[in-house]
């Protein structure tokens, strides 16, 4: 029995924040009709009757106003439209992530180009990229090679990135963090076009 009630609780839809109809507990409201006409301040009983006659709901759309503003509307449709707008805006949001691309101080050209292309992919997805050179054992004595590698990368990517963190040494690594330029899509599009033409 307890198990059933738990599963039911999970399936409950989110409770809307707007108060409606009998939930509105004030003496008077500023009323707006379904077609957007402002009626003015009326007693709550009159507002409820007007909504009932129109076979619609009385919804409190601005509870902090004095008196609260209420509109006559089809609440189900209003709530659906509001949810849809929220879903659409969530789809358009892009959460910026920091992706890491790791190099060794002796990375060969083929590997270097492969990793650089990975970094470009991340930048094209509008993510930050942390470019890291990791040293092992005795390689640590040649940090200058790591600095040169990062300088080469930054030089080759300079059209597409803004440097957020200049190359920095930390333990057995040297790293830099870059952000894609705002018009990176245009820049990369232009590069693709140039390659096709050549």
User: Which domain range does residue 119 map to?
Assistant: 98-197
- Domain identity same for 60 and 110: no
Indicate if 129 and 161 belong to the same structural domain: yes
Residue 51, Cβ density class (10 Å: 0-12 exposed, 13-18 middle, ≥19 buried): buried
Q: Same structural domain for residues 182 and 117?
A: yes
> What is the number of other CB atoms lying within 10 angstroms of the CB of residue 190?
12
CATH of the domain at 53: 3.10.20.80
Asked whether residue 102 falls in the same domain as residue 51, the answer is no
Reported as a single tens digit per residue, the pLDDT across 96-148 is 788 999 998 888 888 999 999 999 899 888 889 999 999 888 877 778 888 89
* Model confidence band, residue 3 (pLDDT cutoffs 50, 70, 90): very low
Number of domains in the chain: 2
Cβ–Cβ under 8 Å, residues 69 and 32 = yes
- For residue 36, pLDDT beyond 60: yes
Say which DSSP state 16 is in: P
Closest CA to 184 of 134, 135, 120: 120
Q: What is the CATH number of the domain that holds 126?
A: 3.30.110.10
Residue 192 has pLDDT above 70, yes or no: no
Q: Specify the pTM.
A: 0.49
Same domain, 188 and 114: yes
The pLDDT-based confidence of 181 (bands split at 50, 70, 90) is confident
Residues 143 and 192 in one domain: yes
At 22, is the pLDDT very low, low, confident or very high (cuts 50, 70, 90)? confident
Mean pLDDT, residues 50-60: 91
Report DSSP letters for 161-186, one per residue.
Answer: EEEEEEEEEETTEEEEEEEE-TTHHH
Domain contains 5:
no
């Amino acid at each position: 029995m307890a198990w059933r009630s738990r599963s039911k609780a999970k399936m409950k839809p989110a409770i809307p924040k707007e108060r409606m109809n009998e939930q509105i507990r004030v003496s008077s409201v500023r009323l707006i009709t379904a077609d957007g006409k402002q009626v003015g301040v009326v007693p709550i009983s009159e507002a409820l009757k007007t909504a009932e006659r129109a076979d619609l709901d009385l919804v409190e759309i601005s509870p902090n106003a004095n008196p609260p503003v209420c509109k006559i509307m089809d609440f189900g449709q209003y709530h659906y439209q509001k949810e849809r707008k929220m879903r659409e805006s969530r789809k358009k949001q892009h959460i910026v992530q920091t992706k890491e691309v790791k190099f060794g101080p002796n990375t060969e050209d083929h590997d270097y180009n492969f990793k650089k292309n990975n970094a470009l992919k991340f930048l094209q997805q509008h993510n930050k990229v942390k470019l890291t050179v990791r040293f092992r054992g005795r390689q640590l004595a040649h940090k200058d090679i790591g600095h040169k590698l990062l300088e080469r990368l930054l030089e080759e990517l300079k059209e597409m990135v803004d440097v957020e963190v200049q190359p920095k040494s930390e333990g057995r690594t040297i790293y830099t963090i870059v952000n894609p330029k705002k018009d990176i899509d245009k820049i990369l599009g232009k590069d693709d076009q140039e390659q096709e033409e050549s």
